[in-house]
Amino acid sequence: MASLQLSNVQKSFGPVKILHDISIGLQDGEFLVLVGPSGCGKSTLMNIIAGLEEPTGGSLMLEGRDITRVAPADRNISMVFQSYALYPNMTVAKNIEFPLQMRKVDKAQREQRVKAVSRMLQIEHLLERKPRQLSGGQRQRVAIGRALAREPQLYLFDEPLSNLDAQLRVDMRTEIKKLHQRLKATIVYVTHDQIEAMTLATRIAVMKGGVMQQLGTPYEVYNRPANTFVAGFMGSPRMNLLKACVERTADGLSLVFGRDGGATVLDVPAAQAGGALRSYAGRQVIAGIRAEAVSLAAPGMVAGPGQQFFEAQVEVIEPTGADTLAVIFLGGEEFTVRLEPDVALAPGQKARFLVDLGKLVCFDTETETLIA
Amino acid sequence: MADVHPSIAVPAGRAGAGHLRLPIGRIALYIVLVALALVFVMPVYVMIVNSLKPLDEIRTGNLMSLPHEWTVAPWLSAWSTAQIGVQPTGLRPFFINSFLLVIPAVAISTLIGALNGYILTQFKFRGANLMFGAMLLTVFIPFQIVLIPMAKTLGLLGLAGTIKGLILVNVVYGIGFTTLFFRNYYAAFPGELVRSARMDGAGFFGVLTKILLPNSAPIIVVTVIWQFTNIWNEFLFGASFSDFSSYPLTVALNNLVNSSTGVKEYNVHFAGAFIAALPTLVVYLVSGKYFVRGLMAGSVKG
């Protein structure tokens, strides 16, 4: 296993820039997830790491070795492809053996590796089958097995779960996480699914339009998104982003949602009211509040620190089973909240809600970046 | 194909009563199909029955009637004793010549086509499309145009009048077709397989021999049938660039038919023509279903 250092990696096709100055430092054993909408450049970046595409600028170091101009086969990197890319003319055993055979590993050692890998992935009974005789999940395992066989320094996963059905996807996600914990491997994983990114990563790089928007732990990316794009992209339902006016009060700051008549005023907790946000007093900001920060107020409830009550009208109720999503109006804008599964609310009803602003984030209206 | 079968076409509810009922349209269809099949079978029938008759029966009798006296003498004559030009060698040496020509020519042109297809699809180099276009153009060049330059080239190479020379000519002419076949097949080949093989350590020829070729069975069959039939049946190059020792079968057959002095031995001619057609018939019968499957493969699963 090894560390990976990307320095100012760029890629352009003629005048079109696909990747702008991507720099990522990855420690040994990290699980980096590249996430973003389609066309954000995440797959291009992965292909550059694999050596399948050449960067137009910047450099890559794997465990201190410059691999920018090294051929893909000589980088000591394995890749699991979206379509699994199993060789249809070879049996499962031959597929797993192939990278070793190409590297002229001797026969006895090859067989031993195939056996070890297939035992670990529980595909021993499939070794003599051809890929077309396997189910999606089994193919996935074989593809991972082939990547494991030659014990590379770095693993690449290119949207490996996107061809599986929903149930299998969740199972395989857990498998991959287990595998990472067991192997302590360094992994770069590409996906457009933010839940996969959250569950698997030790660090997430959120990309958009060839620019890295944020690089951080899942906690940071979720709770302290660097800009409104990251805030909206990570998490389901997406973070509520509402225009609000910052106003100075006797003992701090408050956010005013909506206009004079139907305005809702929320006090900013002392922890958030310091420094940067204070300089926005009297101006508009974009307030980011997660759906789970809000709950339905029960009679006799007392607001804790950072919590306060507000009244709002319910617009839509969406039960999901585990919990119920409600769209309410806050200062004239739609606001999604995540409530208990069995709340007794009806559309059009007015209700009292309790909001916890302990994780409030605010963004500049112009630059849309985090005010911190 | 099950859906053409009449009993399947009848709705399930009426299956018992309707089992024997054929719709009028379907009967008409079968009549037309049978008639057309007869049209195609007729020449084969004429060739076979007349090649098994003594010459007298052909001259006095009906071309369509079965032999009164069955004989394989015309076949034996065409094979080993008939007059080809001035020598009474029969078709046998030329049958062998044709195999000596066709097998290397098909193998070489197929391999080059696979190599070209691989390079044109997996390596995006400047001018790849132009080069492919130029190769495609060779498919449309009439044989007659290249006769004289080709004769000069063969002379310069010292290959004039040899089977090697004919192999060269047919390979050069075949590359356009074989490249077209393989290029289109590999253009639809999953790119991730090739990329995966490259990461796994397969080199330039490793990708071709371990990944592409083992998964090319349909297009190899198509190419081999196509090239085999074309080169086996090719006449103009054979007539232009070979001498008596290197005539391919088509040229020898022509000489057999044209060189008989006095009486035209139609029964021998029929037998000779059938001998000349046999190898391509066998190739079609053995691999015909792959041929159709291969030609469809690209269009159905794009």
Tokens of B35: 């008639």
Q: Which residues of A touch B122 (CB under 8 A)?
A: none
Name the residue in chain B with its Cα closest to that of A143. B196
Interface contact A51-B199, CB threshold 8 A: yes
Interface contact B215-A89, CB threshold 8 A: yes
Give the pLDDT score at A139.
Answer: 92
Name the residue in chain A with its Cα closest to that of B192. A85
Interface contact A87-B211, CB threshold 8 A: yes
Interface contact B200-A88, CB threshold 8 A: no
Does the structure show a pLDDT above 80 at A6?
Answer: yes
Interface contact A52-B190, CB threshold 8 A: no
Q: Comparing A130-139, B108-117, B251-260, which segment has the lowest mean pLDDT? A: B251-260
CA atoms of A172 and A177, how far apart (whole Å): 8
Choice between B92 and B259, residue whose per-residue pLDDT is larger = B92
**What is chain B's length?**
302
Give the pLDDT score at B171.
Answer: 95
Interface contact A77-B197, CB threshold 8 A: no
Give the pLDDT score at B294.
Answer: 58
Give the pLDDT score at A269.
Answer: 85
| Nearest residue to B9 (alpha-carbon basis) of A257, B17, B19, B178 | B19
Confirm if A55 and A10 have CB atoms less than 8 A apart. yes
In this predicted model, what pLDDT tens digit does every residue of A174-202 receive, in sequence order?
989 999 999 899 999 999 999 999 999 99
Mean pLDDT of chain B: 85
Q: How confident is the model at residue B154 (pLDDT cuts 50, 70, 90)?
A: very high
Mean pLDDT of chain A: 91
Interface contact A82-B193, CB threshold 8 A: no
B164 and chain A: CB distance < 8 Å anywhere? no
Does the structure show a pLDDT above 50 at A256?
Answer: yes
Give the pLDDT score at B300.
Answer: 37
Give the pLDDT score at A191.
Answer: 94
In this predicted model, what pLDDT tens digit does every residue of B201-230 receive, in sequence order?
999 999 999 999 998 988 898 899 899 999
Does the structure show a pLDDT above 90 at A116?
Answer: yes
Angle at A287 between CA A284 and CA A290, to 5 degrees: 170
Inter-residue long-range contacts of B10-14, CB under 8 Å, 24+ positions, other chains counted: none
Task: Indicate the residue type of B103.
Answer: I
The predicted complex's ipTM stands at 0.81
Give how far Cα A85 sits from Cα of A82, A268, A361, B193, Å: 8, 53, 43, 5
Give the pLDDT score at B299.
Answer: 41
Q: Which residues of A touch B203 (CB under 8 A)?
A: 73
Residue in this structure with the two tokens 């009048």, named with its chain if needed: B161
Give the pLDDT score at B217.
Answer: 85
Give, to the nearest 10 degrees, the angle between helix A136-149 and helix A107-120.
140
State the DSSP string of A59-72.
Answer: EEEETTEE-TTS-G
Choice between B298 and B72, residue whose per-residue pLDDT is larger = B72
Name the residue in chain A with its Cα closest to that of B205. A102
In this predicted model, what pLDDT tens digit does every residue of A20-59 receive, in sequence order?
999 999 999 999 999 999 889 999 999 999 999 999 999 9
Q: A 87-146 residues with CB below 8 A of B?
A: 87-89, 98-99, 102-103, 146
Q: Which residues of A touch B197 (CB under 8 A)?
A: 87, 98
Interface contact B193-A85, CB threshold 8 A: yes
Q: Is B115 helix (H, G, I), strand (E, B) or coil?
A: helix
Q: Is A92 helix (H, G, I), strand (E, B) or coil?
A: helix
Give the pLDDT score at A162.
Answer: 87
Q: Which of A87, A103, A153 to mutate to test the interface with B (most CBs of B within 10 A)?
A: A87
Does the structure show a pLDDT above 80 at B296?
Answer: no
Name the residue in chain A with its Cα closest to that of B204. A73
In this predicted model, what pLDDT tens digit does every residue of A293-316 receive, in sequence order?
999 988 888 888 888 899 999 999
Mean pLDDT of A144-155: 92
Q: How confident is the model at residue B59 (pLDDT cuts 50, 70, 90)?
A: confident
Does the structure show a pLDDT above 90 at B152?
Answer: yes
Does the structure show a pLDDT above 80 at B293?
Answer: no
Q: How confident is the model at residue B19 (pLDDT cuts 50, 70, 90)?
A: low
Mean pLDDT of B121-146: 88
Q: Which residues of A touch B201 (CB under 8 A)?
A: 73, 99, 102-103
**pTM for this predicted structure:** 0.80
Does the structure show a pLDDT above 60 at B301?
Answer: no
In this predicted model, what pLDDT tens digit does every residue of B244-281 receive, in sequence order?
888 999 999 998 888 756 778 888 999 999 999 999 98
Q: How confident is the model at residue B292 (pLDDT cuts 50, 70, 90)?
A: low
State the DSSP string of A30-47.
Answer: -EEEEE-STTSSHHHHHH
Distance from CA of A93 to the nearest CA of B (A): 15
Q: Which residues of B touch A89 (CB under 8 A)?
A: 211, 214-215
Confirm if B138 and B176 have CB atoms less than 8 A apart. yes
Does the structure show a pLDDT above 60 at B13?
Answer: no
Confirm if B177 and B114 have CB atoms less than 8 A apart. no
Q: Comparing A68-72, A101-105, B81-85, which segment has the lowest mean pLDDT? A: B81-85
B213 and chain A: CB distance < 8 Å anywhere? no
CA atoms of B4 and B103, how far apart (whole Å): 39
In this predicted model, what pLDDT tens digit does every residue of A303-352 receive, in sequence order?
888 888 999 999 999 998 889 999 998 888 899 999 998 888 889 999 99
Interface contact A51-B206, CB threshold 8 A: no
Q: Which residues of B touch A139 (CB under 8 A)?
A: none
Name the residue in chain A with its Cα closest to that of B216. A89
CA atoms of B48 and B81, how far apart (whole Å): 20
Name the residue in chain B with its Cα closest to that of A80. B196
DSSP state of B158: T
Does the structure show a pLDDT above 70 at B1?
Answer: no
Give the pLDDT score at B7.
Answer: 43
Residue in this structure with the two tokens 């492809």, named with its chain if needed: A81
Distance separating the N- and C-terminal Cα atoms of chain A: 36
Q: B 223-282 residues with CB below 8 A of A?
A: none
Distance from CA of A150 to the nearest CA of B (A): 9
Mean pLDDT of A217-221: 96
B206 and chain A: CB distance < 8 Å anywhere? yes
CA atoms of A41 and A38, how far apart (whole Å): 8
Mean pLDDT of A278-303: 90
Give the pLDDT score at A59.
Answer: 94
B123 and chain A: CB distance < 8 Å anywhere? no
Listed by start position, the domains of chain A span 4-233, 240-364
Q: Is B30 helix (H, G, I), strand (E, B) or coil?
A: helix
The domain made up of A240-364 is a member of CATH 2.40.50.140: yes
B191 and chain A: CB distance < 8 Å anywhere? no
Query: Which CATH code is given to the segment(s) B92-300?
Result: 1.10.3720.10
Q: Which of A48, A80, A86, A98 to mutate to test the interface with B (most CBs of B within 10 A)?
A: A98
B209 and chain A: CB distance < 8 Å anywhere? no
Give the pLDDT score at B16.
Answer: 46
Interface contact B215-A88, CB threshold 8 A: yes
Q: Is B130 helix (H, G, I), strand (E, B) or coil?
A: helix
Interface contact A72-B215, CB threshold 8 A: no
Query: Which CATH code is given to the segment(s) A4-233?
Result: 3.40.50.300
CA atoms of A335 and A242, how far apart (whole Å): 8
Q: Which of B199, B205, B207, B209 to mutate to test the interface with A (most CBs of A within 10 A)?
A: B199
Confirm if B112 and B167 have CB atoms less than 8 A apart. no
